[in-house]
Chains A and B, each alone.
Chain A
Amino acid sequence: MADKEVREGSELDIALEEVGDHSIIVLSGEVDVYSAPKLRDTIRNLVEEGRYRIVVDLEEVAFLDSTGLGVLVGGLKRVKHHQGELGIICNQERILRIFRITGLTKVFTIYPSREALLANIKGA
Chain B
Amino acid sequence: MILAGDKNVAFELEIPAKAKYISLARLFVGSIARRMNFSEESVDDLKIAVSEMCTNAVVHAGNGTADKPPINIRFVVGEESLTVEVRDQGPGFDPRCVLENQPSGLLEKGFGIPLIRSLVDVFDCQSSPGGGTKVTITKFLPGREGR
Contacts and interface: CB of A to CB of B under 8 A. Distances in A.
Interface of A: 1, 5, 8-9, 30, 32-34, 63, 65-67, 69-71, 73-74, 76-77, 94, 97-98, 101-102, 107
26 contacts: A5-B27, A5-B30, A8-B23, A9-B23, A32-B22, A32-B23, A33-B22, A33-B55, A33-B58, A33-B59, A34-B20, A34-B23, A63-B26, A63-B47, A65-B52, A65-B112, A65-B115, A66-B109, A66-B115, A69-B111, A70-B107, A70-B108, A73-B106, A74-B108, A97-B44, A101-B114
B145 interface: no
B19 interface: yes
A87 B48 CA distance: 23
Enumerate the 9 nearest inter-chain pairs by beta-carbon distance, A residue then B residue, closest first: A66-B111, A34-B19, A70-B108, A66-B112, A33-B55, A74-B108, A33-B19, A34-B20, A9-B23
B51 interface: yes
B30, B47, B55, B111 — most chain A CB neighbours (10 Å): B111
B41 interface: yes
A70 B27 CA distance: 23
B31, B106, B114 — most chain A CB neighbours (10 Å): B106
A33 B24 CA distance: 13
Contact of B26 (A8, A98, A102): A8
Contacts of B27: 5, 8-9
User: Taking chain A's interface residues, is the majority helix, strand, or loop, or is none over half, making it mixed?
Assistant: helix
A63 B51 CA distance: 10
Interface size class of B (residues with CB under 8 A): 20 to 34
B115 A73 contact: no
B118 interface: yes
A35 to B, nearest CB: 9
B120 to A, nearest CB: 12
B107 A73 contact: yes
B30, B48, B119 — most chain A CB neighbours (10 Å): B48
Contacts of B47: 63
B24 A101 contact: no
Nearest to B116: A66
A8 to B, nearest CB: 6
Contacts of A107: 106
B68 interface: no
A69 B114 CA distance: 13
Contact of B52 (A1, A30, A66, A97): A66
B133 to A, nearest CB: 16
